[in-house]
Amino acid sequence: MLIAIPDVLDAAALARVRAVIDGAEWVDGNVTSGPQSALAKRNHQLPEDSAAAREAGGLILDALGRSPLFVAAALPLKVFPPLFNRYQGGEDFGLHVDNAIRIKRGTDFRIRSDLSATLFLDDPTTYDGGELVIEDQFGPQVVKLPAGHMILYPASSLHRVTPVTRGTRTASFFWLQSMIRDDGERRTLFELDRAVQAVAADRGQGDSTVVQLTGVYHNLLRRWADA
């Protein structure tokens, strides 16, 4: 399931994140690459243990916690601390798949990467190229979102970033371990949640059908969740 999460960062939050990361020191993006990704990756990145990455990542995590759409779609159990990359001057990232297990260096924190997320931090009119191309069952999905918007997609997907031929593409990227490992089950719960919310908006939260559907949702969550 691919889902765009709009306005994760509003204009003020976006400005705060950019103020933190724009003046920081950036390094070769392959500091976090596996052997296969290193062959395909050409970009720059904030060191994950830098003060700027930690501060900006904290702002993003706070914003995610305030997004009902993100919580409903991801059902997050653990979130890898957000990382930051940028592409310019023809830099790109060839076709690859993300590692199944992500480990935070120097700690015992690790997650199973069920979902990948890219949060766009530049206005798409300010750069050419830089599309995130995700291969899914319906063919390639091309994603280039407004600044502050995020795409959430299965980490098992093959994906790439096209060359940036004008301007700079800056983004935050990270991975999540969901309470629901299976993408199909997660999609079912998300669609059921959307339907329950629609019925509740029409009939009210106390309506007997809404209460019954809410019970179905939570019983499925109880059956499938790994929490």
Residue ranges of the binding site for Fe cation:
96, 98, 159
C-alpha distance from residue 188 to each of 23, 135, 180, 191 (Å): 43, 21, 11, 5
Residue 128 exposed, middle or buried by CB count within 10 Å (0-12, 13-18, 19+): middle
Half-sphere exposure of 12 (CA within 13 A, CB side): 1
Q: Which residues are annotated as a binding site?
A: 96, 98, 159, 169
Which of 99, 173, 97 lies closest to 130, judged by CA? 173
Q: Which residues are annotated as a binding site for 2-oxoglutarate?
A: 169
Residue 206's contacts (CB-CB under 8 Å, 6 or more residues apart) are none
